[in-house]
Amino acid sequence: MTGPVLLTTLFPGLVWAMAALALVQVWRRAALWRAGAAAPVAWLDGLAKLPRRYLVDVHHVVARDAYASRMHAVVAGGLLAASVLTALAILPPLAGSRIYWVLVALAFAVTAVGSFLVGARRYPEKQKRLSAGRFQILPFLLVAYAAGGTLTALLLALGGGGGVLAPLALLLAAAGGLGLAFEVRHGPMRHAAAGALHLVAHPRPGRFEGRPDTALQPLDLDAPRLGSEMPADFTWNRLLSYDACVSCGRCEIACPAFAAGQPLNPKRLIQDLVAGLSPAEPAYAGNPYPGGREAEGERGPLARLIGPDARIHPDTLWSCTTCRACVEECPMMIEHVDAVVSLRRHQTLERGALPEKAVGPVTDLRQAGEPGGRSLAARTDFAAGLDLPVLDGRDGVDVLLWLGEGAYDLRYGRTLRALVRLLRQANVDFAVLGAEERDTGDLARRLGDEATFQSLARANIATLARHRFGRIVTADPHALHALRNEYPAFGGHYTVMHHTAFLLELIRAGKLVPNRLEDVSVTYHDPCYLARYNGETEAPRAVLDAIGVSRREMGRSGRRAMCCGGGGGAPVSDVPGERRIPDLRMAQAAETGAGIVAVACPSCTAMLEGVPDRKAEIRDIAELLLQSVEAGR
């Protein structure tokens, strides 16, 4: 019986050795994270919530790809169960039980099935969005560990294990298992260790509490260095989060800039942050930045990340529309937009390296409170001939209508006129700030000019403090996001509603009575800053349904909608690509066959209306509602 006894020690010993090796590898990795800046982390809270964050939040994202979801459940569940069970067999009563070994064999068999599912995504041909490199070896390691484990456990269950088969099986399991543990430092298995830690120490814990935690975090303008210049400028838990990236490429296929052939690929960007931190990182093996620029420059915690001669080209940075599609799709809960903005902050605040074309608008924002350098009093010009009450001197109103940048735009002025007329019809007690309304600073903030944003935010908050109003309604989701989510950090707390939600309220209260526009087919384009940043996807659709139009959905809609290309200062940065983002989006809209694309944002209106050869009309929800309300008269 020496054979089985030896085996019952060696086999659990192998798993313990794997655990030890993995721990060493994580430890080596952690030395890199420690290069990052300090960050407050609620460890105990995070640890307690880890299972829920994994099973609910991560699973919610993973499940969007049914195959990947099943594959991961089987292979990860099997691997974990088999390894833990085997490790427990170090206890003699368990080691002596044949039933127990049957259980272990079963767990390994499940892992083996999962391993083949993993392999099927990569062989004979790799799915396009996945990375090659060390990831291509993963299925073999898994199969070796799972098959070796199954065989060994079976031998033990059968009471055999004295022959030549046992050492061979154990050797196979050891090769695969130790290989997997070794890969925790540089290879695919890093995602498991870093991913779990990342869920515990996530920089935006609010994400898991069911509310959109999307406000950019305020920058301390007195900090010794502003923004991130090098990997060490990121907080340590951000560095950890980039290590969690499993190179699945889901962000890449969601990214509008990537689709338009601009030099941005969010997966590559995250991998560049990983590789920028560690010179020992193996070469990137996924799709490149469109345009195919190779990484250059030095690497290491203190190496400059951005520059024409550095790892990441500035054009990559300025291509991002901050649409958060990548964040929405990332199963590892990585916050790409925070990384982009942090890097931009350094470029803008420390180096004055804004894209050439963005300098004008940002300068005007700083000097005139308006990115076009126009007079603030001219903001209400769109309402010529309409009776538009101004709040100044009035004794408080129910609704403060925040006009936003769109008011200066001739086309969008039509939308605002429609909205004003609807509010009049519903007898809403409302007013605007008139010449007192400054820009919210959204553009400056997305472009990294936190100083200008903060000074505009403070000025607006001071203005609003002088007036009495119930709530703010705005038709501009960018203004809404700033006012609702970003101003609280500076002491401005308001109830802010998007005009679609407010109009729905008026309809439900019977104050607006829409007539049915039966013969109109509409597809609704979700603005990123409303749907993804604020989770509001239902109100606009409910308004459309109240109008009775036949509503069709695009392939990508709601929280997963594609950006129009208008956010994040991308239109003013204007990084050239092979295609234009709004053209791509209009092509998606055309697939629905709808005659009207309904919008709910001034940027979307401008971007989508600017598409040449457009078959569909662009109409704001307010315009459609006005048309239907007036149809009865």
Interacting residue ranges for another protein, rule: CB under 8 A: 221, 225-226, 348-354, 356, 358-360, 362-363, 366-370, 373-376, 449-452
Q: How far is the CB of 218 from another protein (least distance, A)?
A: 14
Q: Which is nearer to ligand SF4, 117 or 563 (CB)?
A: 563
Eight-state DSSP code of residue 498 = E
- Comparing CA positions, the residue from 555, 608, 615, 558 lying closest to residue 583 is 608
Edge to edge, the sheet with strand 430-432 lists 430-432, 397-402, 469-474, 496-498
Q: Which is nearer to another protein, 324 or 345 (CB)?
A: 345
User: CA-to-CA distance for 452 and 538, rounded, in angstroms?
Assistant: 34
Q: How far is the CB of 130 from ligand SF4 (least distance, A)?
A: 9
Q: What is the DSSP string of 311-360?
A: SB-HHHHHH-----HHHHH-TT---HHHHHHHHHHIIIIIH----HHHHH
Partner whose binding site includes residue 369, from ligand SF4, another protein, none (CB under 5 to 8 Å by kind): another protein
Partner whose binding site includes residue 350, from ligand SF4, another protein, none (CB under 5 to 8 Å by kind): another protein
Q: How far is the CB of 584 from ligand SF4 (least distance, A)?
A: 12
Q: Count Cβ atoms within 10 A of the Cβ of residue 627 and give its class: 0-12 exposed, 13-18 middle, 19 or more buried.
A: middle
Cα→Cα distances 633→52, 250, 280, 428, Å: 55, 50, 72, 20
Q: How far is the CB of 156 from ligand SF4 (least distance, A)?
A: 38
Kind plus residue range of the DSSP H or E element containing 471: strand 469-474
And the tokens for 367? 């000097």
Q: What is the DSSP string of 124-189?
A: SS--TTS--GGGGTHHHHHHHHHHHHHHHHHHHHHT---SSHHHHHHHHHHHHHHHHHHHHHHSTT
- Comparing CA positions, the residue from 267, 211, 206 lying closest to residue 242 is 267
Q: Which is nearer to another protein, 347 or 628 (CB)?
A: 347
Partner whose binding site includes residue 18, from another protein, ligand SF4, none (CB under 5 to 8 Å by kind): none
Residue numbers of the site for ligand SF4 (CB under 6 A)? 245-251, 254-257, 264, 266-267, 270, 320-326, 329-332, 334, 336-337, 563
Eight-state DSSP code of residue 53 = I
Partner whose binding site includes residue 336, from another protein, ligand SF4, none (CB under 5 to 8 Å by kind): ligand SF4
- Comparing CA positions, the residue from 498, 476, 389, 480 lying closest to residue 433 is 389
Residue with tokens 């889901």: 250
Q: Are 330 and 242 in contact (CB under 8 A)?
A: no
Q: How far is the CB of 76 from ligand SF4 (least distance, A)?
A: 15
Q: Which is nearer to another protein, 296 or 356 (CB)?
A: 356
Partner whose binding site includes residue 391, from another protein, ligand SF4, none (CB under 5 to 8 Å by kind): none
Partner whose binding site includes residue 359, from another protein, ligand SF4, none (CB under 5 to 8 Å by kind): another protein
Q: Are 300 and 310 in contact (CB under 8 A)?
A: no
Q: Which is nearer to another protein, 108 or 453 (CB)?
A: 453
Partner whose binding site includes residue 245, from ligand SF4, another protein, none (CB under 5 to 8 Å by kind): ligand SF4
Residue with tokens 């950006």: 563
User: CA-to-CA distance for 58 and 35, rounded, in angstroms?
Assistant: 27
Residues across the chain? 633
Residue 128 CA, distance from chain mean position: 21
What amino acid is encoded at 127 in this protein? Q
Burial annotation 496-534 (CB, 10 A radius, 16+ → b, else e): bbbbbbbbbebbeeeebebeebeebebbbbbbbbbbbbb
Q: How far is the CB of 261 from ligand SF4 (least distance, A)?
A: 13
Partner whose binding site includes residue 24, from another protein, ligand SF4, none (CB under 5 to 8 Å by kind): none
Partner whose binding site includes residue 366, from ligand SF4, another protein, none (CB under 5 to 8 Å by kind): another protein
Q: Which is nearer to ligand SF4, 232 or 581 (CB)?
A: 581
Partner whose binding site includes residue 320, from another protein, ligand SF4, none (CB under 5 to 8 Å by kind): ligand SF4
Residue 251's SS3 state is helix
Q: Which is nearer to ligand SF4, 402 or 533 (CB)?
A: 533
Q: How far is the CB of 421 from another protein (least distance, A)?
A: 29
Q: How far is the CB of 204 from another protein (least distance, A)?
A: 25
Q: How far is the CB of 194 from ligand SF4 (least distance, A)?
A: 10
Q: How far is the CB of 57 from ligand SF4 (least distance, A)?
A: 14
Q: Are 509 and 425 in contact (CB under 8 A)?
A: no
Q: Which is nearer to another protein, 343 or 539 (CB)?
A: 343
Q: How far is the CB of 307 from another protein (least distance, A)?
A: 15
Q: Which is nearer to another protein, 371 or 527 (CB)?
A: 371
Q: Which is nearer to ligand SF4, 85 or 264 (CB)?
A: 264
Partner whose binding site includes residue 49, from another protein, ligand SF4, none (CB under 5 to 8 Å by kind): none
Q: How far is the CB of 65 from ligand SF4 (least distance, A)?
A: 11
Q: Which is nearer to ligand SF4, 348 or 628 (CB)?
A: 348
Partner whose binding site includes residue 329, from another protein, ligand SF4, none (CB under 5 to 8 Å by kind): ligand SF4
User: CA-to-CA distance for 191 and 183, rounded, in angstroms?
Assistant: 10
Q: Which is nearer to another protein, 198 or 344 (CB)?
A: 344
